[in-house]
Amino acid sequence: MRLSSHSLESAKVARPAYDRKSKGIGIVHFGPGAFHRAHQAVFTDDAMAKSGGDWGICAVSLNSARAADALSPQDGLYTLAIRDKRPDFRIIGAIKRVLFAKTNPQDVMDILCAASTKFVTLTITEKGYALSGDGTLDISNSMIKSDIETPQNPTSAMGYIVAATAKRRAHNIEPLTIISCDNLPSNGRKLRSACVELAEQTDPNLAQYISSNLRFPNTMVDSITPATDDAVLSLVEEEIGLSDNGAVQREAFTQWVIEDILPDDRPDWASAGAIITDDVEGYENTKLRILNGAHSTLTYLGLLAGLQSVEEAITHAPLRAFVDTLITTETIPTIDPPAGLDLETYWASIIARFENPHIRHNLEQISHDGSQKIPARIFPVIQFHTANGRVPAHACYVVAAWIEFNRQRRAAGHAPVDGYLSQNENTLPAPTLPSGDYCDAFLNNAALIPKYIQNNVDVGRAIIRDCQAISENGVLCPSHFN
């Protein structure tokens, strides 16, 4: 029997601790992949259990029917599997409806424009924001071009937000609060800018309205959430006594930091453990540069070394030593942490999380969209040290590993999963070039590499030298692993 509203009572694990049928929809979420279902939806589920409110979620997929196919037959219900020292399983009920925008665009617009809808949240990955290298909206992006040409038939999340705002304003419905939950520095500010820039293309007055009336809090999110595989689905079925095609897994640790500009009428996310603060940037920089920076480091070096998972990479002695040196000597000095957070202790806790044997976080999954991740995770470390007259050798080596990873994959005919690079394929150097020449041309691509790196001769030489060393001697070459 499959999990659904009809079979829920027979589930052998904890179920939603509120009357799910009575809850209205107050949130529209774009991108209901595993991370949203394991993170924001769980915070919202807990908030409704603790403090009530009509904060059910309408989950909207923009590009794939997978979530709708998995969750709609289950009435939005799914299992959260905590895979850690103390495993736990529970049914999450916060998602009330699931829509695939390409087949139900009018339904998406209707729920966005409903007076009962107060929030829009997003986990659309970095590429979903259609940002260019300088962080502004890329109006050459195919989604954005479509939204400009036919704003009444949006394609992107920003297009839907802009179109819905126009209709809400016309009908005197209060403005939405828009919450980005993706790993972008200043994600709220960048999303606001993208929406305003998009609106300016067709309606400057609407752009001013969005800028003045909609809230876009910055946020930071954290919880390691590997993709669900058949083994997890089998485990969940055994635990709950029902089949569940929408189950997700994550580690026990979870964190959601939200800028303190939310309206009074909001889910009680704080009671569910969210941190509402004026210092999102401190949490954000700490997580992006330490946890996410270490993830990217282990990913590109690990894949080049033939490893497959984070656990394999962090327990590989040379890689562990490399990433530890990177974080402790080059990354931590760049961070002004939130009050009370000791960065050495934080890093030690992350190592323990990476070592969790119950979570298999595949490096291949983390490698996706590196052109949007490396600039946020590694480039700021290089910028900090070069501003102080130093070349951070380990950070430069990570950039070299990323570039060489891309060259090798493209040369083998298996281009990395990277939407931005794919859209700009014609600007990339030929992968048949020698490693040093490929790296030199890659570094001179203004759409990928910021000026503070391009203009620093010593940094450029270090990265090119590292690319050549990786190509000739392998990623574990002696210069950084002795």
pLDDT, tens digit, 9 for 90 and up, residues 134-172? 789 999 999 999 999 999 999 999 999 999 999 999 999
Q: Quick one: 312 and 219 in the same domain? A: no
Say yes or no: 162 and 39 in one domain. yes
**pLDDT range class, residue 173, cuts 50, 70, 90:** very high
The number of folded domains in the chain is 2
Domain boundary (228, 263, 278) is at 278
Amino acid at 167: K
pLDDT of residue 126 exceeding 90, the answer is no
Look at residue 303 and tell me if it is in a domain.
Answer: yes
- Distance, in Å, from the CA atom of 185 to the CA atom of 78, rounded to the nearest integer, reads 30
* Same domain as 157, residue 298: no
Task: Kindly report, residue by residue over 456-475, the tens digit of the pLDDT.
Answer: 999 999 999 999 999 999 99
Residues 441 and 318 in one domain: yes
Is the pLDDT reported for residue 117 higher than 80? Answer: yes
The two tokens of residue 26 are 């107050």
Q: Give a yes or no: residue 222 inside a domain.
A: yes
- Flag the least confident range among 87-91, 117-121, 477-481: 477-481
**Do residue 380 and residue 448 come from a single domain?**
yes
Give pLDDT, residue 418: 94
On whether both 412 and 302 belong to a single domain, the answer is yes
Q: Let me know if residue 3 belongs to a domain.
A: no
Q: How confident is the model over 347-377, as pLDDT tens digits?
A: 999 999 999 998 889 999 999 999 989 999 9
Tell me, yes or no, whether 254 and 397 share the same domain. Answer: no
Q: Are residues 226 and 313 in the same domain?
A: no
Are residues 296 and 421 both part of a single domain?
yes
Average pLDDT, rounded, for the chain: 96
Is a pLDDT exceeding 90 seen at residue 183?
no
pLDDT given for residue 423 in this prediction: 84
Where a domain ends, among 250, 278, 306? 278
**Final residue in a domain of this structure, among 258, 278, 298:** 278
Is the confidence at residue 424, as pLDDT, over 90? no
Say whether both 199 and 122 belong to one domain: yes
The closest of 266, 246, 307 to 37, measured between CA atoms, is 246
Beta strands 119-122 and 177-180 are: parallel
CATH assignment at residue 197? 3.40.50.720
pTM: predicted TM-score of the whole model, two decimal places:
0.86
Based on the fold, state whether residues 262 and 352 are members of the same structural domain.
Answer: no
Q: Which domain holds residue 184?
A: 8-278
CATH of the domain at 460: 1.10.1040.10
Q: Which residues, in sequence order, are CB contacts of 187 under 8 Å at separation 6+? A: 180, 181, 218, 219
315 assigned to some structural domain: yes
Under a CB-based contact definition with an 8 Å cutoff, are residues 417 and 368 in contact? yes
Q: Is the dihedral of CA 31, 35, 38, 42 positive or negative?
A: negative
Instruction: Flag whether 314 is in a domain.
Output: yes
In a domain, 102, yes or no: yes
Question: Is 137 contained in some domain?
Answer: yes
pLDDT of 482 strictly over 70: no
Per-residue CA distances from 226 to 86, 249, 270, 359 (Å): 17, 7, 25, 7
Among candidates 395, 400, 421, which has minimal Cα distance to 410?
Answer: 421
pLDDT of residue 20: 97
Q: Classify residue 2: in a domain, yes or no.
A: no
Do 244 and 294 lie in a common domain?
no
